[in-house]
């Protein structure tokens, strides 16, 4: 919901460590800062927070109680965070293998006592981000795959850097393909 500028108590996660790494290293406004990659066990989080080993559905009473204060000022807030499986209603949720934590009282996972039982944090030095981005591209983890719409495909296509072909002196080779920086090629034939 934050992508659509709506305040929310949901924090989105992914089941894919490669997708998580992409989100930890992408973004021009964060390239000069170290990043972090978190690993969470929602089963152990829920065991710690509400005594239930498992992941909640959005209709579970504890999940509903955690969001109720956001919509009803007269409702008492809760002081826990729970792991919730989404109702897969949006293409991004499905493509990004999204899962969520639901935060009562504006709590942060980093501030919970005993967090080491269910949360791991990995440091990503800012100097490593560009190399990680390149490696992720080789593995097929790209903007247009995680955000499957024309705007993101266009952004990714604009960012491609074509190399001059040593054989022809222009951007296309004799077979009609276009070499792209990083070893990829786009072919103009079908």
pLDDT given at position 188: 44
The verdict on residue 155 lying in a domain is no
Q: Three-state DSSP class for 113?
A: coil
C-alpha pair distances (Å), 156 with each of 31, 95, 139, 146: 18, 17, 15, 11
Strand partners, 120: 39
The verdict on residue 77 lying in a domain is yes
Range of the domain at 169: 160-190
pLDDT given at position 187: 45
Q: Are residue 100 and residue 164 in the same domain, yes or no?
A: no
pLDDT given at position 190: 41
Instruction: Count CA atoms within 13 Å of residue 124 on its CB side.
Output: 21
Give the count of domains, the chain.
Answer: 2
| Residue 162's pLDDT band (cuts 50, 70, 90) | low
pTM for the whole structure: 0.74
């Amino acid at each position: 919901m934050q992508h659509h500028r709506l305040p929310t108590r949901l924090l989105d996660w992914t089941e894919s460590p490669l997708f998580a790494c992409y989100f930890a290293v992408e973004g021009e406004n964060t390239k000069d800062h170290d990043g972090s990659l978190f690993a969470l066990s929602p089963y152990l989080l829920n065991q710690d927070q509400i005594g239930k080993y498992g992941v909640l559905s959005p209709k579970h009473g504890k999940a509903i109680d955690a969001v109720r204060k956001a919509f009803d000022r007269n409702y008492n807030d809760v002081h826990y965070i729970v792991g919730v499986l989404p109702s897969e209603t949006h293409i991004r949720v499905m493509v990004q293998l999204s899962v969520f934590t639901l935060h009562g009282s504006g709590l942060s996972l980093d501030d919970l006592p005993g967090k080491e039982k269910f949360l791991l944090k990995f440091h990503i030095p800012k100097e490593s981000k560009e190399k990680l981005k390149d490696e992720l591209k080789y593995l097929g983890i790209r903007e247009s795959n995680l955000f499957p719409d024309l705007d993101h495909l266009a952004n990714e296509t604009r960012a491609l850097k074509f190399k001059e072909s040593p054989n022809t002196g222009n951007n296309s080779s004799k077979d009609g393909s276009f070499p792209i920086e990083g070893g990829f090629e786009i072919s103009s034939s079908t």
